[in-house]
Structure 1
Amino acid sequence: MTRFQSLNQSIAAAVATDPFKPAVSIRSDINLQCTSQTIRNRHHSNALRIRKPATKPELTDLHKEARMEYALTYDEDHVIASRRSGRVSVGLFGWMHAGGVGELAAAGPGRFTWLKYVELLEEVLLPSVRSLLFPVPEHFYLVQDNSPIHTCRAVQEWFRQHPEITLLPHPPRSRDLNPIEHLWAAMTSRMAEMDLPRCSAAVTTAALQTWEHLRSSAGSNLTSSLVASMPRRLNEVIAAGGGYTRY
C-alpha cells in the first residue's frame, strides 16, 4: 500500500466515524503528517464530505404534539402549498401545486405587511389558481406557514370572506412539512450559479427567470415528487413521535 493510499484510508475512516469533524481535528486526532488543507483535498477528491450539522429549532412537547396531530389528520392528503419567501434581499410570493408552479410575484420595496399579503392573495394567488386549476366556483385547499402576517386577524378575515378556500392548519416549526421549501431551495441553488450584481433589482429579475424555467417538464416533475412525498413526511413525523423528519 502506498503512502497516499494509506492517507486516503485514514481520512475516509475518520470522516465515516464522525462526518461533522473538521479537518483540523482529524489531523490532530489521528496524528496525520500533513496539513489540514491536504486532508480537505484528499476527501474531496474521493467524493467524501466533512459535513456541517443541520441546525433546526428545538421542538418542545407542544410542538411535537401539534406535528403529530397534523400528520395523523392529513396522512392521506395531497395539498397545494403556498409560501412567501424572504431568504434573499427581495420579498417574493409564489405558490405551487402537484402539476407545476403557479405564479411568482415581487412583494415590492419596503417592509412586507399584511396589506401587501392580502393584495397578493387577491391579485396573484386567487386569479392564477382560478386560471390554472380551479375555475369558479370550485373549492380548493391551501397551505401556508405560520408567519405572523399569515395568521394575523386581517388576513384571517380575508380568508373568511373567501369560503371557497380551505386553509389547512400548519403546525409550528415544521418547514419539513411544507414541500415548497424544497422548491425555494432549487431556485436558490440555480441562482447561486449566476453572476448576479448585488442589487435587489437583479435578484428579483433572476428569481422571476428561474421561476419561468420551473415551468418546464423538469419543474413539473419536481413539484409532483414534492407533493407526492407528503405521505412519507407525515409517516416519518408519526414514527418520530412528532420529531423532525429527514426532509
Structure 2
Amino acid sequence: MVTCKETRAVIIALHKKGFTGKDIAASKIAPKLTIYRIIKNFKESGSIFVKKASGRPRKSSKHQDRLLKLIQLRDRGTTSTELPQEWQQAGVSASARTVRRRLLEGGLVSRRAAKKPLLYRKNIRDRLIFCKRYRDWTAEDWGKVIFSDDSPFRLFGASVKKLVRRRHGERYHQSCVMPTVKHPETIHVWGCFSAKGVGSLTILPKNTAMNKEWYQHILREQLLPTIQEQFGDEQCLFQHDGAPYHKAKVITKWLGEQNIDILGPWPGNSPDLNPIENLWSILKRRVDKQKPTNSDKLQALIMQEWAAISQDVAQKLIDSMPGQIAEFLKKKGQPSNIDSL
C-alpha cells in the first residue's frame, strides 16, 4: 500500500511521543502492518521514507525494448534463441531468458501458430465480394441455408497436443500417454445442417475417393431427404464449396433439375466462412473423448454423436453468421479471430 508523506510523518511523530503501533492503528490512520513497517524502517534508518531496493540494473533501455518488439513483430517466427543475436546489433547483450521476459512485458506471448488456409489475392477479393453481397443478411435469412461439407476422421486421430499432469517416473504411464499409430485409419464423411438441426450424414466406403459420381449419389440419397424433412415446400438455399466435383457440369445440371438454388458463388480456400467447420470440431471432440479403438467403433460413434447434436447448437451456429460476415469485412477478407461458438 502507498502511504503519503504526511501520513508517514504523523505516524513517526506519534511514535516519538511514546504511542505504540497498536495505539496508532486504533486511529485508523493506516493499516496496522503498514504502521509497523514505517516504524521499523524509522528505527533502522532514521528516515520516514522506505529506501528502494537496489536490485540488478536493467540491461536494456525502453527504446531498446521497443526495438526488440519491432524485431519480433517483423518476423513472428523468430525464436527467443535467435533474437539475442539481432538485439545485440542494437547494443544489448542479453540471454534468451531476458528476451522472453521483455517480450512478455511487451504483451507478446509464445503460442502455437493457428492453421488457416493460404489465401491468395484472388481468394481475398472473392471473400470480400461474398461478404459484401451478404452483409445485410439477418440470422433469419441464414436460417434458410443448408450448409454442407465433407471431413476426415482419424482413428487415434486427435492431432492436437494433449496436456497431462504426472508425477516423476510416470512419463509412459498408461493414463499419461496418447496412443498413436503409424498410418491411422481415416474415415471420410459428408454431412449437412441448417438452423433446423443436423441433416443427413454419410460415411464413404473405405478407400473410396469423392468424385462427381459419388457426390451426385450423396446429394440424391442424403441432401434431398434433408431438404424435404427440414423445409418441405419452403424455399431454401444449398451451400457447397468450389471443389472440382461440386462444379462438374453433371452436378450443376442435376441441381438445376431438382430446383435447388445455390448460395454463392462460394469463395475458394474459405472453410472458415462455413459454420459447419465448427460443427465438425464439436463432433470430433465428442468422438475423440470416447477413445474408439477400431474402425467400426469410430464409425458408430460418429453417427451416434452426430445424431445427438441438438437443434439449439445448430441454431447458435447459424445465428453467428451476421457477426462472422461483419468480422471478415472488418478484417478485409483475412481469417477471422472469432469462433461461431
Relative to structure 1, is the Cα distance of residues 22 and 195 closer, same or farther in structure 2, using a 3 angstrom cutoff?
farther
Q: Select which of 290, 296, 302 maps to 1:207.
A: 302
**2:193 is the counterpart of 1:96:** yes
1:85-141 alpha-carbon deviations (Å, 9 max, x no partner): 23441121111111211121212232222111111111111112202x2224x3310
Report how many aligned residue pairs link the two structures. 207
Which of 139-148 and 50-59 deviates more?
A: 50-59
Counterpart CA distance in 2 for 1:205 and 1:21 is 44
What secondary structure sits across from 1:101 in the alignment? Answer: strand
What secondary structure sits across from 2:290 in the alignment? Answer: coil
Shift of 1:61: 1.8
Counterpart CA distance in 2 for 1:21 and 1:50 is 11
- Give 5+ residue unaligned stretches, structure 1: 1-16, 32-48
Is the CA contact 1:85–1:91 (under 8 Å) kept in the aligned structure 2?
Answer: yes
Is the CA contact 1:237–1:244 (under 8 Å) kept in the aligned structure 2?
Answer: yes
**2:316 is the counterpart of 1:221:** no
Which is greater in Rg? 2
Shift of 1:168: 2.9
Counterpart CA distance in 2 for 1:164 and 1:173 is 24
Relative to structure 1, is the Cα distance of residues 53 and 71 closer, same or farther in structure 2, using a 3 angstrom cutoff?
same
Give the share of equivalent positions with the same residue, in percent: 25
Counterpart CA distance in 2 for 1:29 and 1:96 is 49
RMSD: 2.7
Counterpart CA distance in 1 for 2:302 and 2:201 is 9
Counterpart CA distance in 2 for 1:53 and 1:196 is 28
> Which residue in the other structure is 1:186 paired with?
282
- More relative contact order, 1 or 2 (CA 8 Å, 6+ apart): 1
Is the CA contact 1:20–1:52 (under 8 Å) kept in the aligned structure 2?
Answer: no
- Give 5+ residue unaligned stretches, structure 2: 1-68, 83-94, 99-108, 155-185
Counterpart CA distance in 2 for 1:87 and 1:238 is 32
**Which amino acid letter does the alignment assign opposite residue 97 of structure 2?**
I
> Which residue in the other structure is 2:219 paired with?
121
Q: Select which of 96, 99, 105 maps to 2:202.
A: 105
What secondary structure sits across from 2:237 in the alignment? Answer: strand
Counterpart CA distance in 2 for 1:135 and 1:146 is 27
Counterpart CA distance in 1 for 2:79 and 2:121 is 33
1:21-46 alpha-carbon deviations (Å, 9 max, x no partner): 99999xx7227xxxxxxxxxxxxxxx
What secondary structure sits across from 2:148 in the alignment? Answer: strand
Relative to structure 1, is the Cα distance of residues 60 and 166 closer, same or farther in structure 2, using a 3 angstrom cutoff?
closer
Q: Which has the higher helix share?
A: 1
Counterpart CA distance in 1 for 2:118 and 2:209 is 28
Is the CA contact 2:80–2:97 (under 8 Å) kept in the aligned structure 1?
Answer: no
> Which residue in the other structure is 2:124 paired with?
64
